[in-house]
A and B are shown apart, each in its own frame.
Chain A
Amino acid sequence: MFRKILIANRGEIAIRIIRTCRELGVRAVAIYSEADAESLHVRMADEAVCVGPAASNQSYLKIETIVAAAKEVNADAIHPGYGFLAESAEFARAVREAGLIFIGPSPEAMEIMGSKTSARRAAVEAGVAIVPGTVEPLASFEDASATAQKFGYPVMLKAAAGGGGKGMRLVAESGELRSAFETAQAEAAAAFGDSSLYLEKAVERPRHIEIQIFGDTHGSVVHLGERECSIQRRHQKVIEECPSPLNDPDLRRQMGEAAVKIGRAVNYTGAGTVEFLFSDTTHEFYFLEMNTRLQVEHPVTELVTGRDLVREQFRVATGEPLSFTQEDVDWQGHAIECRIYAEDPANNFFPSPGTITHLREPAGPGVRVDSGVTRLSEVSIYYDPMIAKLAVWGRTRDEAIDRLKRALDEYEVSGITTTLSFFREVVTDEEFISGRLDTGFITRFSERRASREVKTNQVETDLAVIAAALSYAMRQQQSAPQTSVMKSRWKIAARNAGLRKS
């Protein structure tokens, strides 16, 4: 096993990896930007190196600086996490050339899958169906317009270098194409430094189902089943489940085999995810893309398979064979994950940076929290606003939903606005509970939500008013001269007023 590794990431995923390091007795080296010097991932690391100013392109994306840091601290290997440089073949190559181990697939595999067009080509060659669309990047708006006409609307515009829904637009009719094309190009350029787009026929009411695969350097590639990630907003996943509510063993086998084929086609090593679009109507599935890294949502697979995917990544990266075969993999119960973002659901999910003044995370049976923050953490404007992941496990999907409701109710965050309130509504939504999901869920849910008139609880709002008034009164007392007396009298009084009639 490694002696020391550098984690080229921040936030909850850096902490997730630090935890496995601790469990394996590997020293964990964090990197951080100047804005992150006091971040939890730095505080939890054994060592930490500052790699530059706040802006990611001057710190977390600086290949040379990061590789140099790893050499400087004598790390054996680098784990990229997800996002940032996780899917940069250039980075993987630089790490290899520096004589260090990159905990991930080969740069070659990353390059093939890194461009969606070449990835689609690879899938076709491996005999896996893809969504009808262009295999080459679009030359121009005119090209886009012509192609769209050919396939017929609705169509999807996607960034060739893309991921995370950035540079992605659904276009319902020709009139929307130009502005969508421009925005998508702009976003793609900003996010990936590459504005090229491609176009796909839009599958209607599609489920986003992905397969977790794992390969080793001894030629075996296996799958750990599916994750349902249909609940997305702005083409970003917000709730993921394992297994899919469909929970169909045959489908799991078919999609698993297709994913393994694609993995084999690129001699895939380590953890990877093959994303499919599944049509609820035709029950056909199409290859979408492959993510050549650990996924944000890996915990649901860990909860249901009982396997530590990061631990397995380490193992494979040291050249050992996988610790399990396809036959060894089994699935117990049901897991659901919610991504907790510092965003305001009441304001179009706009980011809500700030200082976390109070934090109580849920715990107890069947609850797992992977958090990147603690009390008094600053959520800065510079990075992805996800502050934590809440994952729950239950024997059945219903039990998991019961747990999720309970855990969301326990979750307390003050100082910033989060998506917790949004999730609390989702988990009581009939369509969610029924499990009939597709990528349009959030749009429909938001409409239901808007139409529903909010019945406020009079007692609750009155208590809120009283609490505010108390807080006001306290302040008056404190600013008044005789404060301390009154304050302490109040405190003492409060302490004494214990006995309640029973």
Chain B
Amino acid sequence: MIFPTEINLLDISAVILLIATFGLMVSRGFSNWVNAYRYQTIVLAGIVALIASITNIWELYIVSALTFGIKAVIIPKILFYVTKKLDSPIKLEIYPYISMKLSVIIAALLVTMSYFIFLYLDIKSNEIIQVFLPVSFALFFIGLFVIVSRRKALNQMMGLLTIENGLFLFAVSLTHGFSLIIEIGLMADIVLGVMISSILLFRMSRTFDSIDIKNLESLRDD
């Protein structure tokens, strides 16, 4: 039985998720990024719980709890610890390769593109959940765009985590999630990835005393 509220609930949650990603796009400071990411994961966990209630598969509840626990709490904690420890003076991304204004417009374009791809694919999944497919594409492409257009390594990590969120949403909405072992494996990978990149960030800030990737260009063929 589908309550009308749930349907627009789905749409509303999709819109909130997109707003959270845009929030990540526009924020400048390191801590703003991490906060934006935290909101994003919280909304994501909510969506997963929602899908679980619609398709009433019990594993999805566990998965949403897991995502909330790890992605919304542990990972932001690590990232906050990292941003505090970084001894680079200004914790701002001032001159990204593409100006903030332009990057927002491009993000919008990417969202429209993901909707076009979604239409091209005409996937016959459960109609209700299909709302989240274009959003997951959008998350994926915006994450990719963040990595390409930003100068600060931490921001690139954020882009990476957004791509992972997009993937996670895509998996849940399309095939209602993998079996549990694979979910746990994915989570472990993400956490390990974040830990290793934070170690790298520490080393980078200690040797280059700034985490700008401009000074990561010595290995090249010229």
State yes or no: do A and B come from one complex.
no
Interface residues in chain A, defined as those with a beta carbon under 8 Å from any beta carbon in chain B: none
